[in-house]
Amino acid sequence: MSSSDIPKARARGFRAERELVTKLWKMGFAVIRGPASGAKIRRSIYPDVVAIKDRKIFVFEVKVRSKPSSIYIDRNQLSKVIEFARRASGEALLAIRITSLKIWKAIPVNEINIDSATSNRIKVSRDVIDRSEDLFSYISRKISRSIEEYIDKN
């Protein structure tokens, strides 16, 4: 299948996933993009991206928007990311690439109220996205050890 056969939205998603993998790798993470990312696999549990560094595991569902706006996520898709993160003792994150602003946003999946959704699609409002932290700042903060933690462990 050539790239011209892939719908534009999926192609944008693939590019964003590859960009995220590259950026995380440059930050020193071991990173892998899910082999079935974006595929219609129903029984398997594949996140878009998994990153590991200093015993911290991040499991990503990646979304792309050209400009800031609300997004909708399939409930089952989000549940699979949560389950993968649980099994790996990792943190499930929604990573949102906003291309016009050249930024990435991070929303911890445990902050998304899945149970309140009335359909199989869960809405994450633009307001929630606007208030969310920069993805790379969030990750850097999570993997940084305070001086107290360093002294206690050494």
Q: Please, are residues 100 and 52 in contact by the beta-carbon 8 Å criterion?
A: no
In whole angstroms, give the CA distance from residue 123 to residue 10.
19
Per annotation, catalytic residue among 3, 4, 37, 44: 37
Rg (CA), the chain: 16
Q: Flag whether 17 is marked binding.
A: yes
Kind of pairing between the strands at 121-124 and 133-134: unpaired
List for the chain the helix, strand, coil content (%; round to 5). 40, 30, 30
Is 48 among the annotated ligand-binding positions? yes
Judge contact between 23 and 49, C-beta under 8 A: no
Q: Is 61 annotated as a binding residue?
A: yes
Q: Which residue has the tokens 């050539």?
A: 2
The answer to whether residue 37 is catalytic is: yes
Binding residues for Mg(2+), as ranges, are: 17, 48, 61
The catalytic residue positions are: 37
Q: Which residues are annotated as a binding site?
A: 17, 48, 61
